[in-house]
Structure 1
Amino acid sequence: MYFPSKKDLWMTIVIWLFAVLFIVPPILFPDFGVWMTPEFLNKQWIKVVILCPIGFGLLWIWFNTGYSIKDNILKIQYGPFKKVIKIEEIQSIRQTTNPFTALSLSINRIEVNYRKYNTIQISPKDMNGFLTQLMKINSGILIKK
């Protein structure tokens, strides 16, 4: 079962603003004043090569962040980054609003504690459905308030 990430408005604005700023200007708005000189072409090429991948990476994160539960495995996809957790290794889950470390696009998250000392923060859009699916597989998960 797939659970897309919840997306906050502020995160939407930040990601789309930077993606557009990193993609559009290097391609569509060249430096004015030095047309078709070797210096212009070199500068423009560097901008496109460096900035465009960052912009497309942000869009990849935006469109491809979600969490799936299949065959007793929780798969976390955050753009190009992937993480796999065995659901039977999950010990506890608690709600958090820590804005600093997370593979999510929302401030309203859950912190998943697994194995002995590992944690990860995620933000499924359907939090209750997500927790229900996890509890069906591992009823020993402690839900902290």
Structure 2
Amino acid sequence: MEEGKLHSNQEGNKVVYPSKVGLELLVPIILIFAILFVSTFEKASLTGVVLQFGLMFGFVALFFSISYEVTDEVLSVISFFFIKKNILIKDITRIVESNNPISSPAASLDRLEVYYGKYSSVIISPKDKMGFIAHLKRLSPSIQVELKKKKQ
């Protein structure tokens, strides 16, 4: 069974692909908050400590809230539980493997750039990249896929 389907929530024809969470992005954020917390610990009030933990929790929750829902017609990119971007699958032209660090709804640098429409794209990082790509290709066989060659 594909990893994306193992961790998916299926309602009718909807499959949810969780984002891969990369330590290369998560660890620096936690370290920054830890350094800020330690450096202000003696001077911090209870309100300041609660605020710092709240901000850190918010950033970490953001990482784990990113997911990608695929239905028969729409790819929905969901971040922070309620921000949703819908892309018609028939508008997707190609998917390119990427390590582009640009800000995007992707919690890892192991990414895919999904091109749609005439000039639009979104960078995502599904945990099960190959299952995600295969699912979209089944729905729209005209999608071109460009994967990086693996070093052997």
Answer whether TM exceeds 0.5 for this pair. yes
Task: Please state how far the C-alpha of 1:17 moved relative to its aligned partner.
Answer: 3.1
How far has the Cα of 1:85 moved from its partner? 0.9
- Name 1:142's counterpart in structure 2: 144
Q: Deviations over 1:21-54 (max 9, x none)?
A: 67x66xxx4627xxxxxxxx7xx64x36864553
Number of residues of Structure 1 aligned to a counterpart in Structure 2 = 132
Residue number among 114, 120, 123 corresponding to 2:122 in the alignment: 120
Cα distance in 2 for partners of 1:72, 1:21 equals 45
1:143 is paired with a residue whose SS is strand
Partner AA of 1:128 in structure 2? M
TM-score under structure 2 length normalisation? 0.71
Q: What does residue 6 of structure 2 align with?
A: none
Contact 2:26 2:60 in 1 (8 A): no
Report what 1:91 is aligned to. Answer: 93
Q: Residue 106 of structure 1 aligns to a residue in which SS?
A: coil
Measure, in 2, the Cα distance between the counterparts of 1:62 and 1:105. Answer: 5
- What are structure 1's unaligned runs of at least 5 residues? 33-40
Which residue matches 2:28? 14
| Equivalent of residue 31 in structure 1, options 17, 36, 43 | 43
Tell me, in whole angstroms, the C-alpha distance in 2 between the residues paired with 1:84 and 1:68: 9
The 8 Å contact of residues 108 and 125 in structure 2, kept in 1 or not, is answered as yes
Structure whose alpha-carbon radius of gyration is higher: 1
Between the aligned partners of 2:80 and 2:69, the Cα distance in structure 1 is 14
Q: 1:110 aligns with which of 101, 109, 112?
A: 112
Larger helix proportion of the pair: 1
CA–CA distance in structure 1, aligned partners of residues 20 and 92 of structure 2: 21
Sequence identity of aligned pairs in percent? 30
| Runs of at least 5 residues in structure 2 that lack an aligned partner in the other structure | 1-14, 148-152
CA distance in 2, matches of 1:55, 1:6: 19
Which segment drifts farther, 55-64 or 88-97? 55-64
Counterparts of 1:68-79 in structure 2, within 5 Å, are: 68-79=69-80
Amino acid at match of 2:60: L
Q: CA RMSD in A?
A: 2.8
